[in-house]
Amino acid sequence: MRRTGPARPLILAAALGMVPALALGFGRFGYALLLPSMRTDLGWSYVQASALTAANGLGYLLGALLAARVAARTSAITATLATSIVCAASIAACAMTVHLAALTALRAVAGVSGGVAFVCGAGLVAHLARTASEPAHRLLGAYTAGAGVGIVLAVAAAPDRAADWPAGWAVLGLLGTVATAVVAAAAAPLRHIGLGPTSSALEPADRHRLRPLVLAYAVFGAGYIAYMTFIVALLRAEGRSTGSVLAFWTVLGASAVASVPLWTRLLRHAAPHTGPALVLAACGLGALLPALSASLPAALASAVAFGGSFLAVVAAVSNSARTLVPPGAVTAAVGTLTVAFALGQSLGPVLAGVIADAPAGLRASLALSALALLTSAGVLARVDERRARQELT
């Protein structure tokens, strides 16, 4: 098996990080910047606005279900590139219609293609780690941090006026096309690396080991999405200026990029469930801040705390899965976890939208989001504690 130089694997993983930049930064989170303008221009309720997020989540669920099978039948590289192209095209197409049904369908297509691309891309990075001396957690961290880069770049799509939201989708589509070109360039040298066999299914014992992680990840999916969908709408409702909102969003994305390598270093010796639990707790505390205070300092502190942890949850969970299953089952494990995550983030927006339309409003939605995140942290923290007690007895 051919091995790569010491710096090259990290560069390749970071370049493959344009997959989560596309699927998550542009395809999912970029919508938060456009949502206030679309609601104003199209006269939507929060429930209607949340339908686009739910459709994207359901599509992501389907993509996660298909990813391991697609990778097994073709290749992880082919699946990643093909679905990245589809994802970028579906994002750009949102600029061409004002109809809720059409926009919802396009968001679903972006979710399906983004789900396949993300899972297969993570599998590529995991296999890359087997051919290099670079620690796997660093490579997975570099890959996941790409979503933070996408969040920062998505600022370019923020509309100045309510009627300008179609141009925002066009900008996100253009950014997605550039990201796809970067992924294609990064994938080329991987064709010569022995990736080893990829399983499309998990053994019963592997499923059992993953179960606590899967459950907590589903709760995380439901909890974090309310924040990422409605936080900009809350800031707008509180009268924040465009400059303040964009500064908030930039801090959020920059914190995400900077935090993933930091968390991966801090958690490299943590038990497989304790590590993700710590990051989830930080994420929950960050989500709680804007629910408790309407001040700008609280919002910026939330951007640092939440932005500095929510993508690290993905990296921590992916790395934990790598330690809990055999190498050939990593893609299937990531797919299973992504299915649970997608289920949570499909249901979360609808519930959050219903609460946001009620008298309690957006602030109550964020409080519920924080509660879900803190609960998932508590669930995971107890797993390693129970196993430690069992080993002592």
Q: What's the mean pLDDT when you consider all of the chain? A: 87
Considering the entire predicted model, what is its pTM? 0.83
- What is the pLDDT confidence band of residue 119, given thresholds at 50, 70 and 90? confident
Mean pLDDT of the 17-38 span:
95
Is the pLDDT at 236 greater than 60? The verdict is yes
Residue of higher predicted confidence among 272 and 109: 109
Is the pLDDT at 124 greater than 60? The verdict is yes
- What is the pLDDT confidence band of residue 15, given thresholds at 50, 70 and 90? very high
pLDDT tens, residue by residue, 57-110: 899 889 988 887 888 788 888 899 999 999 999 999 999 999 999 999 999 999
Residue 5: what pLDDT?
A: 46
Say how far apart CA 31 and CA 250 lie, in whole Å.
Answer: 15
- The CATH number of 8-392 is 1.20.1250.20
Instruction: Looking at mean pLDDT, say which of 84-88, 124-128, 225-229, 264-268 comes out highest.
Output: 84-88
pLDDT tens, residue by residue, 333-351: 877 887 888 888 888 888 8
Is the pLDDT at 131 greater than 80? The verdict is no
Residues contacting residue 384 through CB under 8 Å, at least 6 positions apart: 271, 272, 273, 274
pLDDT tens, residue by residue, 349-377: 888 888 888 877 888 888 988 988 998 89
- What is the pLDDT confidence band of residue 195, given thresholds at 50, 70 and 90? very low
Residue of higher predicted confidence among 234 and 339: 234
Residue 344: what pLDDT?
A: 87
pLDDT tens, residue by residue, 34-52: 999 999 999 999 999 999 9
Say how far apart CA 184 and CA 189 lie, in whole Å.
Answer: 10
- What is the pLDDT confidence band of residue 389, given thresholds at 50, 70 and 90? low
